[in-house]
Amino acid sequence: MTDLFAPLQSLKQGDWFKLICGASFQHLSAVRSLTLAYTLAGADCIDVAADPAVIAAAQAALLVARTLARDAQKRGFDYKGNSPFLMVSLNDGEDPHFRKAEFNPTECPTDCPRPCERICPAQAIIFNNKKEDFSGVVSEKCYGCGRCIPICPYNIIYTSSYVTTPGAIAPLIMSTGVDALEIHTQVGRLAEFQRLWQAISPWVDQLKVLAISCPDGDGMTDYLKAIYDLIAPLKSALIWQTDGRPMSGDIGDGTTIAAVKLGQKVLAAKLPGYVQLAGGTNSYTVAKLKAMGLLKEAERLFAGGRGEEFSPLLPAKSSPPASIAGVAYGSYARVLLSPILDQLENKEVSNTNIKATVRLEEDDGLLWQAVELAHSLVSQIKSQ
């Protein structure tokens, strides 16, 4: 198995691990650090915003990771210099992954206890920041989880949503050399999905993986079958991402149940391709899957029903897997490394009077602490 196909082999084996940096997360130094740490810990895919600057930050981290492969191996990590796939996300309509929280801090009463600041997992809400003379939502840090909205005692926090314009952004994204694409959709949006698909179809053959992310809803399996009929045949591997409870993975163990149940529902539909969990995934997810017998080495797949062994570059046409092929982690994976990212953000180096945040690889102690934390999550599925 070559470096190019290593992540695809993980899909076949049923131990695929994806890091979701966030479709709306544009904090470049954090994306860079998360990508570096989870790559060295053995991740198969890094999912980032469809933003050229964010893509560049992730790609820079992938290059650094290759230079640290031997160090990682000496420290007992399995990373061998294989680059994970770099994935970007698009949406065919309004979606919670593609939004930002906003509010006017001048409307906040001075005696407000500011529960929004405490609950924000991305630490994107700040008040009276002396260094930057700023109060409010730090847009590039916000990934739209929405937890601040119901907790605001004055109901002044709202969200600003956006829909990607694939016709304009697809050529720019594909020219950067991304490996994979994820489309966020919802039941009942087949016409919108078709418009997006038509816009990106000239570049689809360049992809190694296409993922379809969809939350549950009435008629979901019929909707996914209609999508498959629309996009088939594919040259890339196909992943059905079951979005159980979007952006809720760091709340508690109960959130993983929705993700597992939705995974079971999609498996039962026997759709061609792989099934991967997301939305509510956390430290309990793999244990739950193992206990239910849903996470094991994927069965041998066959292409075309003619008996030839399945190629990871081609979508399955028959004998779909009877188990979950992998797990994607978003907010839980990010929060797990937040103590390291906070320390990095507070460290500055001065170079000709220009201040810059220390890069993760520049602090050996923090780097390997971050990789160890990331590995504690990656190894749950890799050690099965």
Q: What is the mean pLDDT of each run of 10 residues along the chain (384 residues)?
A: 73 95 86 97 95 92 96 91 91 71 85 87 76 73 80 83 63 77 94 91 90 94 97 95 72 79 94 94 92 67 35 44 89 93 75 65 96 97 84
Quote the pLDDT of residue 163.
63
Quote the pLDDT of residue 312.
45
Quote the pLDDT of residue 130.
57
Q: Rounded distance, CA 81 to CA 62, Å?
A: 9
Quote the pLDDT of residue 325.
96
Quote the pLDDT of residue 351.
44
Cα-based distances in Å from 116 to 96, 119, 137, 187? 18, 5, 10, 31
Quote the pLDDT of residue 296.
65
The answer to whether 217 and 245 have CB atoms below 8 angstroms apart is no
Q: H/E/C letters for each residue in 114-174?
A: CHHHHHCCCCCEEEEECCCCEEEECCCCCCCCCCHHHHCCCCCCEEEECCCCHHHHHHHHH
Quote the pLDDT of residue 75.
95
Quote the pLDDT of residue 346.
79
Quote the pLDDT of residue 165.
66
Residue 160's beta-bridge partner residues?
Answer: 100
Quote the pLDDT of residue 129.
63
Quote the pLDDT of residue 316.
43
Q: Rounded distance, CA 366 to CA 325, Å?
A: 32
pTM of the model: 0.83
Spatial CB neighbours of 368, under 8 Å, sequence gap ≥ 6: 75
Helices (H), the chain: 6-13, 28-40, 52-67, 69-74, 115-119, 148-151, 166-174, 190-200, 220-231, 255-268, 285-291, 331-336, 338-345, 364-382
